[in-house]
Amino acid sequence: MHFGTRVLSHGDSDRQCCGHTLWGMTAPSGPAGMAWDWVQIPEGVVTLADPLALITNLWLLDVYGKVLTPVQAAPHLNGIVHALPWQAEVQRALESESAEV
């Protein structure tokens, strides 16, 4: 579930448009969430600012039940991010803020 997206900068000649977004769910073991920063690159495409800088309370386990290190978990977490319709939510936030200005 999308909990929110915030536009931190609309960009200018010195800085790209950027912000962060938060997604989560209620799991049997409690609430789970992920957040990340995004940037808008040319042609209006939004992308992860840093694929290794995802913030989460998820603990991913290997086949032996051992918690993955952040580096080991990164590809799996990125897979989750890319399965979410987060870019559409960012675009919606950008359009909403543009309409307010």
The pLDDT tens digits of the residues spanning 60-89 come to 999 999 999 999 999 999 999 999 999 999
Looking at the DSSP bridge assignments, the partners of residue 36 are 21
Q: Are strands 30-41 and 45-48 parallel, antiparallel or unpaired?
A: antiparallel
The pLDDT value given to residue 42: 79
pLDDT at 100 over 80: no
Phi, psi of 31 (to 5 degrees): -70, 145
Enter the pTM of the model. 0.85
